[in-house]
Amino acid sequence: MPAPGDAPVLHLTGPVLVDAETVRPEAWVIGGRITFERPMHSGTPVRVDGWVLPGLVDVHCHIGLDSGGATDRDLAVKQATVDRDAGTLLIRDAGSPLDTAFVHDRDDLPRLIRSARFIARPKRYLRHYAREIAPDELPGVAEDEARKGDGWIKLIADWIDREVGDLTPLWSPQDLAAAMARVHAAGARATAHTFSTEAIGPLLDAGIDCLEHGTGMTDAHIAVAAERGIPVVPTLLQVDNFAGFADQGEARFPAYAARMRRMHARRYDHVRDLHDAGVPLLVGTDAGGTLGHGLLPREAAEMARAIPASAVVAAATWDARAFLGADTLTEGASADLVVYERDPREDIGELARPRAVVLRGRRVA
Ligand SMILES: [Zn+2]
């Protein structure tokens, strides 16, 4: 594979949205990096016109997973490529049964922050996805996965309990607290799948760093998440499936079905409540299990039905990058960027029409 330095110099005629505060009129891409200094001796740069944003960030995406469990490497590469071509250039995966560390060595694939393997209990999550353990193993296994991942782990915090007929938490508050302490001591952070209300309090008490779905959060939970700056990833495309889950569960699990319908009906109001309370929101497609890849523009459009498009663009770019410790389009940063004809903060639908996708300084789409 050619080095990024072989790519032609690009002239981004701008505007260039560096981060929430900074707009630069134009920029150049040289040797894979962003610069705001006009190059002196690099011939005629290739001109790219339009609004330039940092590469989109999908914080809930599963590379190396499909409905049957782990994929092979070739399919994982295809998944990551589809995401890339939609403008997603940084992925925090939300658990994968495949060891996808090889993605780090591929200059043509998005940057990947792995959460290693999901952690769940037997029969309390989708089959073939998770490392299935006994509850009292949680602290040790959480630390082990923290050491295998790229600074994140993923817990399944609740799931339907078929004996109870409704969602219930998988872990005791004590085991959760012990697990979180060990993850943090290992220098990692933890996020958790949660649909229910019951799982949230213990997750917040244990010091969870991020919440996936978060559909069961009450006003009191929302206030705590806002105060501590704990992001929620609403995954509205996935929550749209709740009505179907309710239909499937109706006959045997009516309480579960009623709860899922309630949360489905409130989904946009819930996201607006989170935003209005000041909870940081991030964008996650939940691609991999049942949802396809490359859907970040669609997820963003869903979120923009609840909150301003400018907030969604921030969530998909600089806010997510700050949270994950990744660069935006500052001087010398890797040129991971997407170019649009118009400002997506004015029309979120623009995210679905990238003019150019540039990864590590090379135009990939
Ligand atoms: Zn997921």
CA angle 73, 79, 82 (to 5 degrees): 140
Q: Answer yes or no: do 13 and 31 share one domain.
A: yes
Predicted TM-score (pTM) of this structure: 0.96
What is the C-alpha to C-alpha distance for residues 186 and 162, in angstroms, rounded to an integer?
A: 35
Which pLDDT score, from 0 to 100, does residue 289 have?
83
The verdict on 120 and 165 lying in the same domain is yes
The pLDDT score that the predictor gives to residue 42 is 66
Span from the CA of 253 to the centroid of ligand 1 (angstroms)? 23
**Cα 33 to averaged position of ligand 1 atoms, centre (Å):** 32
pLDDT at 261 over 70: yes
Q: What is the pLDDT of residue 41?
A: 73
Q: Give yes or no: residues 320 and 344 share one domain.
A: no
334 shares a domain with 251:
no
Cβ atoms of 157 and 170 within 8 Å: the answer is yes
Same domain, residue pair 11 and 113: no
**Confidence at residue 117, expressed as pLDDT on a 0 to 100 scale:** 95
Question: Chain-wide mean pLDDT for the chain?
Answer: 96
Say what the pLDDT of residue 2 is: 43
| Cα 73 to averaged position of ligand 1 atoms, centre (Å) | 19
- pLDDT for the residue numbered 30: 95
At 1, the pLDDT band (50, 70, 90 cuts) reads very low
Range of the domain at 28: 4-53+327-363
Q: Give me the CATH number covering residue 176.
A: 3.20.20.140
Q: Is there a single domain that holds both residue 37 and residue 132?
A: no
**What average pLDDT does the segment 36-41 reach?**
88
Which of 7-11, 151-155, 296-300, 354-358 is predicted with the least confidence, judged by mean pLDDT?
7-11
Q: 166 with 137: CB under 8 angstroms? A: no
Residues with CB under 5 A from ligand 1 (ion): 94, 286
Six token digits for residue 251: 């006959």
Looking at the structure, do residues 93 and 228 belong to the same domain, yes or no? yes
Retrieve residue 36's tokens.
């705001």
Question: Tens of pLDDT along 181-202?
Answer: 999 999 999 999 999 999 999 9
- The per-residue pLDDT for 266 is 98
147 plus 268 within the same structural domain: yes
Q: Determine the distance separating the centroid of ligand 1 and the alpha carbon of 95, expressed in angstroms.
A: 7
48 and 70 belong to one structural domain: no
Ligand 1 centroid vs 139 CA: distance in angstroms?
21
Among 40-49, 157-166, 179-188, 317-326, name the one with the lowest average pLDDT. 40-49
Q: How much is the pLDDT for 4?
A: 47
Q: What is the CATH number of the domain that holds 49?
A: 2.30.40.10
**Count of domains observed in the chain:** 2
Q: Looking at residues 128-156, what average pLDDT do you find?
A: 96
User: What number is the average pLDDT over the span 228-248?
Assistant: 97
